[in-house]
Amino acid sequence: MEVISEKLPVSVCIPVRNEEANLRRCLSALNDFDEVVLVDSGSTDATLSIANDFGTVVLQFKWDGQFPKKRNWALRNYTFRNPWILFLDADEHVTEDFVNELRLVLPESSQVGYWVSFTNWFMGHPLKYGDVFRKLALFRVGSGEYECFPETFWSTLDMEVHEHPVLVGSIGAIRSRIEHHDFRGLKNYIHRHNEYSSWEANRFIWLKSAGATEWSRLNSRQKFKYRYVDRVWFAWFYWFISVIIKRGFLDGSAGMYLGRMKRHYFQDVRMKIRDSQRSGVAA
């Protein structure tokens, strides 16, 4: 007789908009989770049809240009039925190892949240080396919410981008990785990162005048980035650490191309900072 494992006491929340290329793969890996909730921003493709195929709860969100954005809105307006929440993007795919680690870690956990790491796919290849992306994507419901700052005058993004949850309590890390594999192609990657580089530039400018309190809320990696990202050497420094020190070159052409594009990304951030400071117009 087949043994059916209990569902993980975790609610998965997936913010989406026009994610038909990625969503089915993401949802198909979530059978072990007790609850899956999509927060949609008016998708016009097959996103909602795919969600319906999986019986997924769908919330509709329309940003009014003010706080809260999508993830914080879900935390404030939906009652998740589990003590833990995992925020995933539609192009992220949990693995069996990740699920098994949650089964071992969460029942006895005294932490309020966990950093989650990702295996990044780029140009059809999984990257084993280079700068490993991670985010604070798993935390206890009610333990905090994502950073908030007055970006309404320069941001058109309706979802938290590089903000981290601000939690009160001890934070751990899950060792098993989630796969990050976007099937929408390089064109979408470039378009998305053009938006992100503008966001980074504007946040840098805002932080310069925001005072010590806002600066103290940054983690050590954020502090280093926003202290030096406007320097001419920063993009090359990131490239050197990622491609040479962390051996991104061992991922072959995909690793080298990604390193080059990330270097260009930080060069774009710097140039947008300089242009905004010169013109007085948001990046």
Q: What is the pLDDT of residues 28-69, one digit of tens each?
A: 999 999 999 999 999 999 999 999 999 999 999 998 878 889
**Residue 186 confidence (pLDDT) above 70:** yes
CB burial class (10 A; 0-12, 13-18, 19+) of residue 107? exposed
- Residue 216: per-residue pLDDT: 85
Phi-psi region at 121: left, alpha or beta (left = phi > 0; alpha = psi -120 to 50): beta
Model confidence at 201, pLDDT cuts 50, 70, 90, reads: very high
The region, left, alpha or beta by phi > 0 then psi within -120 to 50, assigned to residue 185 is left
Above 80 in pLDDT, residue 200? yes
> Which pLDDT score, from 0 to 100, does residue 63 have?
85
Distance CA 2, CA 7 (A): 15
Peptide bond into 68 cis (omega under 30): yes
The better pLDDT of the pair 101, 218 is held by 101
The total of other beta-carbon atoms located within 10 Å of residue 52's CB is 11
SS3 128: coil
**Residue 70 pLDDT greater than 80, yes or no:** yes
Q: Which two tokens stand for residue 22?
A: 């990625």
Q: What is the pLDDT of residue 151?
A: 66
pLDDT number for residue 230: 97
Domain covering 8-183 in this structure, CATH number: 3.90.550.10
Residue 245 has pLDDT above 90, yes or no: yes
Type of residue numbered 269: V
Supply the pLDDT for residue 32. Answer: 97
Cβ neighbourhood burial of 33 (10 Å; 0-12, 13-18, 19+): buried
Q: For residues 92 and 14, give the distance between their C-alpha atoms in angstroms, rounded to a whole number.
A: 10
Higher pLDDT, 151 or 137: 137
* Pairing of the two strands 125-126 and 57-60: unpaired
- pLDDT tens digits along 71-115: 999 999 999 999 999 999 999 999 999 999 999 999 999 999 999
Residue 4: predicted pLDDT: 47
Question: What share of the chain in percent tops pLDDT 70?
Answer: 96
CA distance 188 to 186: 5
Closest CA to 75 of 16, 136, 11, 134: 11
Give the CB-side neighbour count of residue 107, counting CA atoms within 13 A.
8
Return d(Cα 167, Cα 73) in angstroms, integer: 17
pLDDT of amino acid 281: 85
The per-residue pLDDT of the chain, averaged, comes to 92
> pLDDT (tens digit, 9 = 90+) per residue, 8-34?
999 999 999 999 999 999 999 999 999
What distances in angstroms separate CA 256 from CA 37, 75, 119, 270, one per listed residue?
Answer: 36, 38, 16, 21
Lookup result for tokens 């950073």? 147
Instruction: Name the pLDDT band for 2 (thresholds 50, 70, 90).
Output: very low
Q: Which residues 6+ apart lie within 8 Å of 193 measured at CB?
A: 261, 265
pLDDT at residue 5, rounded to an integer: 67
CA-CA distance, 252 to 245, in Å (whole number)?
15
* pLDDT in the model for residue 190: 92
DSSP 240: I
Amino acid 129: pLDDT: 95
Q: What percent of the chain has pLDDT over 90?
A: 77
In the chain, CATH 3.90.550.10 covers 8-183
The whole-angstrom separation of Cα 87 and Cα 164 is: 11
Cα separation, 47 vs 58, in Å, equals 10
φ, ψ (nearest 5 deg) of residue 187? -60, -45
| Nearest by Cα to 16 from 82, 60, 73 | 60
